[in-house]
Structures are given as C-alpha cells and as structure tokens.
Amino acid sequence: MLERLMPIAFVGIWSTGFIVARLIAPYAEPLTFLTCRYVLSGLAFALIARAVGAPWPRTGRAWANALVAGVLLQGIYLGGVFWAVRHGMPAGIAALIVGLQPLATAILAYPLLGERVTRGQWLGTALGLAGAVLVLLPGITAGLHAGVALWPLAVVIAAMAGITLGTLWQKHTATAADIRTNAAIQFIGAALVTAPVAAMLETGHIALVWQTVIGLAWSVLGLSVGAISLLLIMIHRGAVTRVANLFYLVPPVVAVLAWLLFNEALSAIQITGMAIAAAGVALASRAGR
C-alpha cells in the first residue's frame, strides 16, 4: 500500500511548487527566495537526522557525491527554472522543456546505469510526453507568440539537464546513504551555488507578507522535507525511468490546481492530455516492474 501511495503523494506535493512560485513572485526575488529555502531545508533535515540519530557520511567522497546531487537536483534545476521564467521565458515553454526530463532519463538510463528500458516503458514515456504537451498547449502557444529569448532558453535547457543528471547521479552514488543526512547535505550544496549567484544578480529583496511566509514554510516542510524525501526514497527503491515518468503527471495536476485556485481556463484538449499522460505513466510503471 505504501509503495502505491508514495508516487501519488509525491506528484501532488511536487505540483504545488509551481503554485508557490506564482504566489511569491510579486514579493520575492527567485534566487534569494530559493537560497532561504535551501538553508532552512538543510537545517530541517539536519535536526531530523539528529533527532533520530541518523548516520552522516564518513568519507569525503560520500559528502562530495551528496553535494553534487544537491547542486544538480536543486541548485541548477530549480534555480534555472525560476530565473528563466523571471527573465522572460514563457511558463508553458519552460514546462515543456523541463518535461523532456523523463525522455532524457530513459535514453541515459542504460548507458549510465545499465537499466534496460522495455518497449512498454518507451511507449508509456511517449504517451506521457504527448499528454503533457496537450496539457501545456495553451501556454506553449502563448509563449511562441510572445517570443523566446536565447539566454532564458539556454538556462531552462540546463535546468532540465540538471534534474536528469541529478536523478541518475543520486541513483548511482547514494544507494547506501541515509535519506535524511543525504538530503541535508544536498541542500547545503544547493545553497552554496545559489547564494553567490543571487548576490550577483539580485538585491536580496523578500517582502515579509503572508504570501512569502506561507510560501517559504510550505516550500521547506512540504516540498523539501515531504516531496524531496519521497523522491529520494523512490529513486533508491526503483528504476530511475519509472520515477522520472511521474513528472509527466505534474502538468495535469498543476493545471487543475490553477483552475481551482486562480480560476484559470481548463480546456477539453487539456483534459484529454491529462488522460493520455496518466495512461502513459501507468503503462510505463507497469512495464517497468
């Protein structure tokens, strides 16, 4: 039962990250906000690890592996997406590029990890991508009409590469690591690369309003402690291709949340895309067992 609930809980919690980004956008600079999130998340995991007596890595190499995973999974991925959207990248285009991550993971899983991808998984991955494109189609169309700047496009591509390589790196290096201390070190790594960039590019502005307070609290407790813990556990227990395909369910869930919370339109083609994406993820998951 727990194995079946974890993917559902992960997709639901992870999808709220895009709602948080929209909530705090008028009141906080993105990289400054993320730096605060990383520091507080690392502290939260460190306190959890201390409370339960979780072991910390004993070698410099294990520390380095966790730091690299944090830089890729958190610093480059989240920092890249937040920065690009803030600097003119249409959200629909950004979501589409990041949505290529499951496909990239499937392509790299065998040469880097030796994980074979079955025909059923390839079909499920293709269906998931097609469904995600349909869900994102209104935003993609609007983004193409608005134009796409070169630098934000390059940064989003780097963000997609970051989460792809970070997932593979985590699977390759952290099979014996404790989830709690490993996550604490990852957030240290993310903060170490994000803080200097934020200092160079931003003024450090965060308004103390309820939107930023709630957004930061949920980012730490829900997204970091909750969703990241689930992601690391699933990577540890399963094939990275199956885990990556869950990201195809994020655009449909975000679309529903935006419809409920912000009264955004939800078209028939988006609803069709949701069904296709869900079918693709289910097929890929079943074929990969």
In whole angstroms, give the CA distance from residue 101 to residue 97. Answer: 8
- Work out whether the CA dihedral 58, 59, 65, 70 comes out positive or negative: positive
Residue 57 DSSP class: P
Question: 203 or 117, which is more confident?
Answer: 203
- Work out whether the CA dihedral 45, 56, 71, 98 comes out positive or negative: negative
Residue 37: is its pLDDT beyond 90? yes
In whole angstroms, give the CA distance from residue 15 to residue 4. Answer: 18
Tell me the pLDDT band of 46, cut-offs 50, 70 and 90: very high
For tokens 């992870």, the residue is: 14
In whole angstroms, give the CA distance from residue 93 to residue 90. Answer: 5
For the stretch 134-167, pLDDT in tens is 887 887 777 666 666 778 888 889 999 999 999 8
- pTM for the whole structure: 0.85
Tell me the pLDDT band of 287, cut-offs 50, 70 and 90: low
C-alpha distances (whole Å) from 150 to each of 10, 61, 66, 233, 259 are 32, 36, 31, 36, 30
Tell me the pLDDT band of 199, cut-offs 50, 70 and 90: very high
In whole angstroms, give the CA distance from residue 106 to residue 265. Answer: 32
Under 8 Å between Cβ of 286 and 239: no
Tell me the pLDDT band of 264, cut-offs 50, 70 and 90: confident
Under 8 Å between Cβ of 17 and 98: no
Tell me the pLDDT band of 274, cut-offs 50, 70 and 90: confident
Residue 28, classed as helix, strand or coil, is strand
Short-list 9, 63, 6, CA closest to 184: 63
Average pLDDT, the chain: 86
- Written as six digits, the tokens of 281 are 């993820």
